[in-house]
Copies of this chain bind each other. A is one copy, B any other.
Amino acid sequence: MQDALRSHIERKIPLTDEEFAATMPFFHVRKLKRRQFLLQQGEVCRYESFVVGGCLKSYHTDERGDDHILRFSVEDWWAGDLDSFLHHTPSTISIEALEPVTLLVIDQPGLEQLYREVPKMETFFRMLNENALIATSRRVIADLSLPARERYERFLTTYPQIAQRIPLKDIAAFLGITPVFLSRLRREQAGF
Contact of A83 among B68, B86, B134, B146 (CB under 8 A): B134
A192→B56 CA distance, assembly (Å): 44
Interface residues on A, range: 20 to 34
Identity of the chain B residue whose Cβ is nearest the Cβ of A83 in the assembled complex: B134
Does A2 have its Cβ within 8 Å of any Cβ on chain B? no
Contacts of A62 in B (CB 8 A): 145-146
Residues of B within 8 A of A137 (CB): 70, 82-83, 136
Which B residues touch A130, using CB under 8 A?
82, 86, 129
Is the pair A140, B141 in contact by a Cβ cutoff of 8 Å?
no
| Contact (Cβ within 8 A) A60 B136 | no
Binds B, one of A27-35, A119-127, A157-165: A119-127
B141 touches A68 (CB 8 A): yes
A141 partner, pick from B60, B125, B133, B144, beta carbons under 8 A? B60
Known: A60-B145, A122-B126. A70 touches B140 (CB 8 A): yes
Structural contact, B122 and A66, CB atoms closer than 8 A = no
Does B70 lie within 8 Å of A134, measured CB to CB?
no
Q: Tell me the complex Cα distance, A136–B70, Å.
A: 11
- A143, B141: Cβ atoms closer than 8 Å: no
- Whether A176 is near chain B, meaning CB under 8 Å from some CB there, is yes
Question: Which residues of chain A have a CB within 8 Å of any CB of chain B?
Answer: 60, 62, 66, 68, 70, 82-83, 86, 92-93, 115, 119, 122-123, 125-126, 129-130, 132-134, 136-141, 143-146, 176
